[in-house]
Structure 1
Amino acid sequence: MNKINIIIVDDHPLIREGLSKILSMDENINIIAQGNTGLKAIELIQKYSPDVALLDVNMPELSGIEALTYIKKLEVKTKILMLTAYDDHKHLKDAIQLGADGYILKDSDYNTIINAIKALYSGRKYIQPELSSYLIDKPMANLDIDNLNNLTKREHEVLLLIAEGLSNIDIASKLFISEKTVKNHVSSIYLKLNIQDRAHAILFVLNNNLK
């Protein structure tokens, strides 16, 4: 496995130091830079184009959520793993809707952090299992895998691309169709799967290990 180049951005020095020590235990992880603000995160990503960036949700000058909004507009390959000490649904939903690739708690154990980083590096999303329930406002039973059979082949493709964090414009470009057509597919997917938004769509894909 190639080295995974990462940056750590958190306004608490002890958190950065702790994460650095933990991640240094894995021979496949290479920490190339650290920062303490959302603005610094943007600067480091533009400078180094790391494989994965660990971003604290709450930081001075520019929060992790605000930085995420800007980073997703950049032409970079960097996957964003959000870190938070808060297990409330608002931060999680905002991050997922804005295109975060992963979301975990700061006090996660070693295996959770490493698994999250490696999942993002391999192109998958990662939401800490304990946090999944915050993504939905209705019982998990409503996210029925049987509903997947109602999707057309194209809708299935669009669903997987949504789960990869692509915007409607990006999906349109990738599939060589119009943005309006993508919007129609997305609306149809929501209706057929009985889900409300992109966060629910991502959760559906994650929970059912769709490919």
Structure 2
Amino acid sequence: MRIVVVDDDKLVCEALKTILEAEKDISVLTIGHNGKEAIELYHNLKPDILLIDIRMEILTGLEAGEAILKTDKNAKILFLTTFSDDEYIVKALKIGAKGYIIKQNFECIVPSLKAVYAGQSVFGDDIVSKIPSLINKNNKTDFSNYGITGKELEIITTVAEGLNNKEIASRLYLSEGTVRNSITNILEKLNLRDRTQLAIFYYKNR
């Protein structure tokens, strides 16, 4: 797994490089310190994942990520930041970032990179818990266009709220087995991998 690390704090970059290269299957190609460098390094080196901070000089990580994704929609960008500001989370979701994790959760960095490399989206628990409160209540999407029924939309909404299968079953007066099967069917209809991606999909389309 080939990684480019970009952070305006040089000590953080070196610490991340040390942590990541302790893993046999991770190689840090280089490090950068601002958004402009991030764009140049991504296009020059084509890393598997760009691990990037948000608040930086010249261009922010979000501005850099958006520019990269406009030219390469398959780019895998994982934001690593000290800030869980709602505005940043919304922007990261909208531009198509593969993840957003908090620096303080250092133990999550390697597992998050591996998950993103495997094609998953990764948003830390503290970020996922914010998603329901960020949901725009003005409908933008007719979910029936995806073959989603009214009952399935209710289930999607409860997943986005962070409820587990037992809690969903209790709220919607369904069996846990029905909830579990429905979520599997919903994921297949929407071509999504997991509950986190489902919550993000709901957020982005409401």
- The TM-score with structure 1 as length reference comes to 0.68
**Offset, 1:148:** 7.7
Please name the residue that 2:192 is paired with: 160
Whether 1:140 and 2:137 are equivalent positions in the alignment is: no
Please name the residue that 1:115 is paired with: 111
Q: How far does the alpha carbon of each residue in 1:140-184 deviate from its partner, in whole angstroms, 9 at most, with x for none?
A: 34995839839987x8443528x999xxxxxxxxxxxxxxxxxxx
Please name the residue that 2:8 is paired with: 11
Query: Among the aligned pairs, what percent are the same residue?
Result: 29
Whether 1:102 and 2:99 are equivalent positions in the alignment is: yes
- The TM-score with structure 2 as length reference comes to 0.69
Verify the 8 A CA contact 1:135 1:199 in the aligned structure 2: no
Inter-CA distance 59–139: structure 2 relative to 1 (3 Å threshold): same
User: 1: CA distance between counterparts of 2:164 and 2:205?
Assistant: 15
Verify the 8 A CA contact 2:54 2:60 in the aligned structure 1: yes
Please name the residue that 2:84 is paired with: 87
Q: Which amino acid aligns with 1:6?
A: I
**Offset, 1:105:** 0.9
Inter-CA distance 20–72: structure 2 relative to 1 (3 Å threshold): same
Verify the 8 A CA contact 2:51 2:77 in the aligned structure 1: yes
Unaligned runs of 5+ in 2: 134-159, 170-178
Unaligned runs of 5+ in 1: 166-188, 201-211
Inter-CA distance 71–17: structure 2 relative to 1 (3 Å threshold): same
Q: How far does the alpha carbon of each residue in 1:31-57 deviate from its partner, in whole angstroms, 9 at most, with x for none?
A: 001111111111011001000111101
- Secondary structure of 1:61's partner? coil
Please name the residue that 1:38 is paired with: 35
TM-align CA RMSD: 3.3
**Shift >4 Å, 4+ stretches:** 142-145, 150-153
Q: How far does the alpha carbon of each residue in 1:83-108 deviate from its partner, in whole angstroms, 9 at most, with x for none?
A: 11012222112101210101111122
User: 2: CA distance between counterparts of 1:12 and 1:80?
Assistant: 19
Q: Which has the larger radius of gyration?
A: 2
Q: Which amino acid aligns with 1:100?
A: A
Please name the residue that 1:176 is paired with: none
User: 2: CA distance between counterparts of 1:42 and 1:164?
Assistant: 27
User: 2: CA distance between counterparts of 1:79 and 1:152?
Assistant: 26
User: 1: CA distance between counterparts of 2:180 and 2:110?
Assistant: 33
User: 2: CA distance between counterparts of 1:105 and 1:150?
Assistant: 28
**Offset, 1:77:** 4.3
